[in-house]
Structure 1
Amino acid sequence: MGESRRFSVRQALGGGAAADLLLWVNWYPSGTFLVGSTALWYIFESAGYNLLTFISNVLLLLVIILFLWAKAATVLNRPLPPLPNLELSEETVVRVADDIRVWLNYTLSIARKITIVGDLRLLVKVAICLWLISYLGTLINLLNLIYICILLSLSLPVLYDKYQTPIDEKLSVLYHKIDEKILQKIPLSSKRKKMQ
């Protein structure tokens, strides 16, 4: 009975190559991604190189190489560099716009609950989350944050997929304890007096 209610982590991750990578279906690509990202992080940390500068320089080098390759190909009557069609399909743009619309509507519904309904509990939850993000931003630079996110994305889905039932039980208990000890003490909404 517990297995029938089991949440599919693979399906939640999209079920494609990215899900295979994050769930370590094949050890070689996942291990390569982990070792490569660790090596890049170490190089950036030890050299003190800026991530934005690095990305900009790599793109500049790529554009110069492609330009010189194209010029040399026309002079030597060789084929041009094999580039894919660099256009976004209408379907891709519509799908991304739809996902953004759903996320924005959810965010606006939270803002509405806080401002119009006056949900003080939700305000406290949002304030705590934003404060934690702000606090983490003062402790961690962008490169370290990206690396930590990579490490978490390569470990948390696998652990959750393997130990889903006990994790769900522990999170449920933790949520109920927080709810009864902290959130229940906050009034649900503030009643507004009608001004005449």
Structure 2
Amino acid sequence: MGNSHQPRRRSVHQALGGGFVADLLLWKKRTGGATLLVGATALWFVFERAGYNVLSFVANVLLLLVAILFLWAKSASLLNRPLPPLPDLEISEQSIVKIAVVMQEWVNYTLSIARDITVGRNWKLFLQVALGLWFISYIGSLFNFITLVYIGVILSLTVPFLYDKYHEIIDEKLCRAHKAIQALLLRIDSNVLKMIPLTSNKEKKIQ
């Protein structure tokens, strides 16, 4: 009876939006996941191992596409065949509004963090942000942009799938790690607060 009043836990599929992207990342659409993995691996191999330049690759692909469409349209007019089926590609105003809302939320969140660090003097948040930025900088020094994107694709296709399968074990480990980090931050915060009155007392004695 007591369990009936507890809130239901959101599934990983719901947390990812519950749409096509969620099905893709959780390998519910195996063909799409395999295509994304093979495509990302092929692009990474072309750019990293074959030494191909990103700009020249995009230009050559677009050039090939334009040439195919041009020859198709010319041959269609000569042979009385249908023209290439090109859809009307337009970005709706609703899509622009959604993107703007998401960007506004991220910018406001970043500004709120900056305010808590500078005005609120939140030492815990400062240490978390500094550690996160240092970690990103360290990872960026080990890999270039293309490799980082490829690693991001691999993680996107593995982490949600593994978490959905072993979420109970992972939640337990993350809870222990979170408690240990919180205890460490509290210890650091208390040490910083202890240092402030000591310095002020020394100044009074000197005066």
Same fold (TM over 0.5): yes
**How far 1:152 moved relative to its partner?**
0.5
**How far 1:77 moved relative to its partner?**
4.7
Matched residue, 1:194:
none
Please give the TM-score of this superposition, normalised by the length of structure 2.
0.80
* Bigger mean CA deviation after superposition, 154-163 or 79-88: 79-88
Among 150, 155, 166, the alignment partner of 1:152 is: 155
* Bigger mean CA deviation after superposition, 102-111 or 58-67: 58-67
On the 8 A contact 1:51/1:143 being kept in 2, the answer is no
For 1:8, give the aligned amino acid: S
**How far 1:177 moved relative to its partner?**
0.4
Larger relative contact order (Cα-Cα within 8 Å, sequence gap ≥ 6): 1
Number of equivalences:
189
* Bigger mean CA deviation after superposition, 40-49 or 65-74: 65-74
Q: Note the alpha carbon deviations across 1:114-143, whole angstroms, 9 max, x for none.
A: 111111221111111111111111110112
**How far 1:9 moved relative to its partner?**
1.2
On the 8 A contact 2:24/2:33 being kept in 1, the answer is yes
User: Unpaired segments of 5 or more residues in structure 2?
Assistant: 197-207
On the 8 A contact 1:24/1:30 being kept in 2, the answer is yes
The 1-side partners of 2:183 and 2:149 are apart by 35
The 1-side partners of 2:126 and 2:47 are apart by 38
For 1:186, give the aligned amino acid: D
* Bigger mean CA deviation after superposition, 62-71 or 153-162: 62-71
Residues 4, 53 of structure 1: CA spacing in aligned structure 2 closer, same or farther, 3 A cutoff? farther
1:61 correspondence with 2:29: no
1:88 correspondence with 2:91: yes
For 1:152, give the aligned amino acid: L
Matched residue, 1:12:
15
1:131 correspondence with 2:101: no
User: Unpaired segments of 5 or more residues in structure 1?
Assistant: 191-196
On the 8 A contact 1:13/1:19 being kept in 2, the answer is yes
Partner-residue secondary structure (3-state), 2:119: helix
**How far 1:73 moved relative to its partner?**
4.0
* Bigger mean CA deviation after superposition, 121-130 or 47-56: 47-56
For 1:60, give the aligned amino acid: L
The 2-side partners of 1:163 and 1:174 are apart by 17
CA RMSD of aligned residues (A): 2.5
Among 42, 48, 52, the alignment partner of 1:49 is: 52
Please give the TM-score of this superposition, normalised by the length of structure 1.
0.84
The 2-side partners of 1:120 and 1:182 are apart by 8
Matched residue, 2:37:
34
